[in-house]
Structures are given as structure tokens and as C-alpha cells.
Amino acid sequence: MVRFEKQRIPPLAGVGLKAQHYRNIIDEKPSLGWFEIHPENYMGAGGPPHQYLTAIRELYPLSLHGVGMSLGSPVKRLDQDHLARFKSLIKRYEPGLISEHLAWSTHEGVFYNDLLPLPYTDETLTHVANHVNEMQDYLGRQVLIENPSAYLSYEDSPYAETEFLDQLAQKTGCGLLLDVNNIFVSANNQNYDCYEYLKAFPVQYIGEIHLGGHSEELVDDGDAGIAKMLIDDHSSAVIEPVWNIYKRLLEKVGPKPSLIEWDGDIPDWATLYNEAQVADQFIAETSIDKKVG
Amino acid sequence: MAEFEKIYSEFTHALLRPKAALPKGVIAPRAPNIIKRFGIYRNNVMVSLIEAMKSNFPIIYALVGDDFFTALAVAFINKHPPKLPMLFAYGDEFAAFIRLYSTADRLPYLADMAEVENLWRKAYHAKDATCIDISALQKIDGEQHLKLTFNIHPAVFILKSGWPIYSIWLGHETDDMGNVDLNIAQNIIINRPDVDVLVMQLDAANCAFFRQIINGKNLENCYNAAMEIDASFDLGCCLSQLFGIGMITGLNIN
């Protein structure tokens, strides 16, 4: 049933692994490219999370997608304990890809459990680059950095996000993880055009793509009217405009590992698997287009 | 200090305080209502941490209901925000916090139940280990038995309580909270020999015995501790339970 070599993540759809689906996956062994986990959920010493993950890892390639490294923090060095925990998971599970976020989540000793935005300045670029270097050096692996979803930005933020990520990749040798839903969410919330963002994105560094759902919230802007805010909550299916951006992206970069993220209101396995098959269909069509072209 | 460090301090100060002034320098292009937009971050942080507390303390949640739990969790999160990016480990101080939380008085067993749930999660995530069975004991010369000490599985925890913590736990598990007699005191042992976490009731003598075992005392001391409480304590029965529930990972002849 293992269609690919053990470690490498194939340029196909994968799914964010949820405890609710452990048994489905182990029992049904569905045909799927790979799984991704948040390593923070597997940083306990033992128990069922590791027992299930070990069984699933024997069947599929695995990607580690960190949410707690706080690469955007102003600290001099990253949390050494957290790096050590991360590294021991790499040793244990030999993931094919490792990724983190362009964001911060811990400040002055408190973990806020959200991916908070940073200003894009020369100063933050230096800091984030140092942290990415430290993370890659410590883990001995390349890390992919993901574009955030944002609800606000900063007055003093001279770099465009795409330019910031480009510089970061050049300075550190990191790759990039492009979250298509995040483009859609941020573009709506900050009044820019998704396709302009995509045009400016340094696609040559993309090692992985994320797809997910979001929700809507109305905000009363007084005289300026009612604004629609998009919340990146990964609690629903991918919507058509996001699939459309994904399709355009695939045309630019060809097949890439593409993850379905569904973290809230988690559906049954069949529904989630179906989402992955939609992505695989887009990937298959891209390959055919390339061959024809 | 880095320029943005100051911004982050203002940002985080405002995150957990709904009425605090917004950090300087945050903007939303062509969008006047910045407070609402910042509120999305406030909401993400607080709601996700309340959800983490619900997930870590399902019995407390069931006992007190959504409104009370949310108020309790918000107060707790403000006093003890998480320090580590691993939320399965969040809430160690919750039991102690509940003891001091004035309106929790009417449910005096709540703090002990929070402790039960803390230990349950520790057992769930504890290091895996292989248990030995009672035949290991039979291989050792009988005269040496009283000097034996035991290596305990890392997922074993004992809790003594003045409240019926076992009955409350069982009532939650079986969805039947109707018949809990609040006038009795119970002790429990929690263990995870393999995949499933087990919760069992311990009488006072067995509880004293198991506590001494966990503290690394030899069998003679453990036996004496149990006999002090109950002269009819049955060592053979207790030992088969000790091995039978997968608590022991090794023996030491001293």
C-alpha cells in the first residue's frame, strides 16, 4: 500500500491528521499522499498519540508543521527546550517536510496560542532570519515558512509581505509554504488583490501549499459601512475562489504537496478525504496540462 | 531593546484585556473600526484557550455547565496564562485555583475533580513502559520478598480525597450522576499500562500500601503501613492487584 518511498512527501494532496480519524486511517488505509501534524500535540513522552502516530507513520510519509516556535519574537535565541522537543520528534518520525509560520505566539514567557502579526521592517527581517537560521541549524533540516493570515497590519512596515518572505528565503535558504486560504483571508481583510499577491510571491521557493476553510464576520465601520471580515478558522470546506487561486498557483509552479487543513468542527473521515481528492484532481489536471503544453 | 519588542508588549497587554488601549502603530487600511479588528485576535486567543481548558477538564465542564465554566476558565487564563506551546499540558494550577475561587464554594469537590483530570492527562501522556507480571515475584526466594522495592509504571498516580471522586468520575463516564453520595470519601489510582487510562477505587489500607510502594519503600514498610489502617489487610490479594493492573515494571532486591 505504500506508494512512495518512506520519507519524501510526494507532490500530491495530504491531510492534517486529527485524533478523531486515527482508527479510520489505520483500519481503512486510504490511498493518500501524506499526513501532516502539529508537533506540539505530540510533545508528550508517550501514550496513545505516539502509538497511533507510529502506526500511521508506517503507512504514510509525514510532515511536521509547527505552530509554537514564535519565529517573529524579539528574543535573542529561540526556546531551547522547544527546539529539543521538536528535534526528538524529527528523530522519532523522520518527517519529509518541516514547516513553521511567519508569526509570533510567545511573548515575555506567555504563550498566546495564536499566530500574531509582525511588522515587516529591516529589524524584524534580521531577527526572523536569525531565528530561521537557528532553527534550521539546530534541527539540521530545511524549514518552510508559511505566509500568515492577518486582520491588521502595522503603520511602520515598509516591506511587502511577499518581498519580506523573498528576502527571508534568500538570507536563510529556507523554503516557503504558501497558504492559499491565507492569501484570500488577508487580501479581503487588508483590501488587496489575491492575484496581485500571487504575482509578487517568490514562487520558486514554494515547497508546500496549504488549503483550508474560513468563516465570515461583519464589522460595523460606521460611516464607511459594514465590512466583511474573514476569519481563518479552518472549520469548513475550501471555497471555490480559494480553489481558483490554487489552480492558478499550480499552473505557475506545477504539482506540489498540498495540504487540506480542517482543525475545527472536524468532519467525518470521508468528508475530509473527499476534500483531498478534489486537490488531487487539480494536481492531476495540472500535470496533464503540462504534458500537453 | 528591539523597536518591535515594545509593540509586542503593548499588543499582548491589550490581548487579554478587552478594555485596554490598542497597541500603537497597528492599522487596517481603509478600515476605521480597528477595535473590532483587534478584537478578532482577542477572541482567537481567549476562545482557543477556553476550548483547551474544556478539552483538558471535561468533567469540570459537565459538572458546572457552560456559563460557569467559561467564567472560571477566563479567570484562570488571566491569572495563569499558558507558558508552553503544548496545550495538552495546560491547567496544572487549575485545581489550586478552584480552591481559591470564591463562587466555587457550593461545589466543594470541584478542586479534587480538577486534580483527577490533571492526573488522568498526565497518565495519558506519560512515557510508555513494559510491565512485568506476578511470576517475576515467584522467581525470587520468599525470604527476600519483604525487602523488595518496585519500579512503578510512569503512568501511575494516586489521589486521596475527602470526596467521592471515584463515584463522580464513574458517573461522568457512564452518564449517570444521579446517585452520588457526597458524604463518602474515596481514593483512586490512575494507570495506563497500555493504550487506555484506567481509574480504580482504592480503600484506605490499599491506598496507604500503594503510596508507600510509589515512594520506593520496601514491601515490609508498605505492608506495615496498610496493617496500621486495617488489620485484615490481605497482602496476597493486594500484590496480585498491583501486578494485575500493570503497575510494576521491575523489581529490586535490596
Strand A215-220 vs strand A226-231: parallel, antiparallel, or unpaired?
Answer: antiparallel
Closest A-chain CA to B14: A112
What ipTM is given for this predicted complex? 0.93
CB contact under 8 A, A111 and B85: yes
Can you give the residue range of the structural domain that contains A220?
A: 13-292
Residue A3 is assigned to a structural domain of this protein = no
What total number of domains does chain A contain?
A: 1
Buried b (16+ CB within 10 A) or exposed e, B184-198: eebbbbbbbbeeebb
Question: Considering only CB atoms, which chain A residues are within 8 Å of B192?
Answer: 47
A40 contact residues in B (CB cutoff 8 A)? 85-87
> Which CATH number covers residue A102?
3.20.20.150
Query: Which B residues 217-246 touch A at CB under 8 Å?
Result: none
Spell out the alpha helix ranges (H) of chain B: 3-15, 34-56, 58-79, 94-100, 110-125, 135-138, 165-173, 204-214, 219-229, 235-244
Inter-chain residue contact A153 with B28, CB threshold 8 Å: yes
What is each CA distance from A46 to A293, B125, B187, B244, in whole angstroms?
Answer: 51, 5, 25, 21
**Degrees, nearest 5: CA angle A152-A156-A161:** 60
Q: Is the pLDDT of residue A19 over 80?
A: yes
**Any A CB within 8 A of B11 CB:** yes
Q: Give the angle B153-B155-B158 at the CA atoms, nearest 5°.
A: 100
Whether the CB of B108 is below 8 Å from some CB of chain A: the reply is no
pLDDT over 90 percentage in chain A: 91
- pLDDT category at A292 given cuts 50, 70, 90 is low
Chain-centroid distance, C-alpha A62 = 14
Nearest beta carbon to residue B40 from set A74, A220, A229: A229
Residue A106 contacts by C-beta under 8 Å, 6 or more apart in sequence? Answer: A68, A70, A73, A79, A112, B85
For B11, nearest residue in chain A (alpha carbons):
A116
Q: What angle do CA A144, A246, A72 make, to 5 degrees?
A: 30
B13 neighbourhood in chain A, CB within 8 Å: none
Whether A97 and A63 have beta carbons less than 8 Å apart is answered as yes
pLDDT attached to residue A4: 39
pLDDT range class, residue A71, cuts 50, 70, 90: very high
* Inter-chain touch B88–A121, beta carbons under 8 Å: no
User: Quick check: A191 and B195 CB within 8 A?
Assistant: no
Secondary structure of A126-188 as H, E, C letters: HHHHHHHHHHHHHHCCCCEEECCCCCCEECCCCCCHHHHHHHHHHHHCCEEEEEHHHHHHHHH
- CB proximity under 8 Å: B 63-92 to A: 81-89
CB contact under 8 A, A112 and B128: no
The set of cell numbers assigned to B104 is 466555587
Q: Is A189 close to B195, i.e. CB distance below 8 A?
A: no
Confidence (pLDDT) at B114 = 98
Cβ-defined contact of B3 to A121 (cutoff 8 Å):
yes
- Judging contacts by C-beta atoms under 8 Å, the chain A residues touching residue B9 are 107-108
B100 touches chain A (CB under 8 A): no
Binary contact (B31, A51; C-beta < 8 A)? no
Determine the Cα–Cα distance for residues A191 and B187; give it in Å rounded to an integer: 60
Count the residues in chain B. 254
For residue B243, give the DSSP letter.
H
Q: For the CA atoms of A104, A110, A113, A114, what is the dihedral angle to 10 degrees?
A: -40
Query: Which chain B residue shows the shortest CA-CA distance from A233?
Result: B44
Which residues in chain A touch residue B126, judged by CB atoms under 8 angstroms apart? 44-47
Query: What local confidence, expressed as pLDDT, does residue B224 receive?
Result: 96
B10: its cell numbers:
503593548
Interface test with A, best of B51, B54, B86 (most A CBs within 10 A): B86
Are A231 and B195 a contacting pair at CB < 8 A?
Answer: no
* Pairwise CB contact (< 8 Å): A47 & B155: yes
Answer whether B195 touches A (CB < 8 Å). yes
User: By three-state DSSP, how is residue A264 classified?
Assistant: coil
Per CB-CB distance under 8 Å, the chain B contacts of A44 are: 86, 88-89, 124-126
Q: In the predicted model, what is the mean pLDDT of residues B222-238? A: 95
Q: What is the DSSP string of A60-96?
A: S-EEEE-S---TT---SS--HHHHHHHHHHHHHH--S
Residue A255 placed within a domain: yes
Does domain B126-254 correspond to CATH entry 3.40.720? no
What residues of chain A lie within 8 A of the CB of B27, using their CB?
152-155
Give the per-residue pLDDT at B178.
76
Q: Quick check: A63 and A11 in contact, CB under 8 A?
A: no
- Tens digits of residue pLDDT in A165-185: 999 999 999 999 999 999 999
Does the distance separating the beta carbons of A111 and B81 come in below 8 Å? yes
Q: What is the pLDDT of residues B31-75, one digit of tens each?
A: 778 999 999 999 999 999 999 999 999 999 999 999 999 999 999
Asked if pLDDT for residue A291 goes beyond 60, the answer is no
Residue A211 lies in a domain: yes
* For testing contact with chain A, the best of B42, B43, B84 (most A CBs within 10 A): B84
The confidence score (pLDDT) of residue A293 equals 42
- Per-residue confidence at A221, pLDDT binned at 50, 70, 90? confident
B14-28, pLDDT tens digit by residue? 999 989 999 999 998
Taking an 8 Å cut-off on Cβ atoms, the answer to whether A45 and B41 are in contact is: no
Q: Percent of chain A having pLDDT more than 70? A: 96
Q: What is the mean pLDDT of residues A196-208?
A: 98
Q: In this predicted structure, what is the pLDDT of residue B107?
A: 86
| Interchain proximity A224–B31, CB inside 8 Å | yes
- Report CA A190 to chain centroid distance, whole Å: 20
CATH 3.90.930: which residues of chain B?
A: 126-254
How far, rounded to the nearest angstrom, does the alpha carbon of residue A277 sit from its chain's CA centroid?
19
Residue A142 counted as domain residue: yes
Residue of A nearest to B26 (CA): A154
